[in-house]
Amino acid sequence: MILKHHLDGFVFYTLYGHLSRESLIGLKVGAKVNQGEVIAYLGKAEVNGDYAPHLHFQIIKDLQGNIGDYPGVASLKDLEFYKENIFNPEVVLGL
């Protein structure tokens, strides 16, 4: 699931991965969500490649034409680009 955000004239995206299949039912491009609203639930291990339930979270500047998904890993040759295009959520969220 990818949400588009507008903040002080700046557009960015947040990606939420490894969600339950049920969380994806009824999703529609352009649907609005409200602050504090539950938007999804974590997927169980069997839908997460046998990993324990967890959230894959990315803050993205430019989706580069991707629709509905965005790479969660990058090759070494593309690393510098992704360092500029993906924000460190620890810094943004104050963790």
Which two structure tokens, joined as six digits, stand for 60?
Answer: 């993205």
**Which pLDDT score is estimated for 1?**
92
The whole-angstrom separation of Cα 47 and Cα 42 is 10
- Give the pLDDT of residue 20: 94
Whole-number pLDDT of residue 48: 83
Sign of CA dihedral 19, 88, 95, 51: positive
pLDDT of residue 7: 87
Q: What tokens appear for 58 in the block?
A: 């990315």
Consecutive 10-residue runs of the chain (95 residues): their mean pLDDT?
91 93 90 92 90 92 90 90 90 78
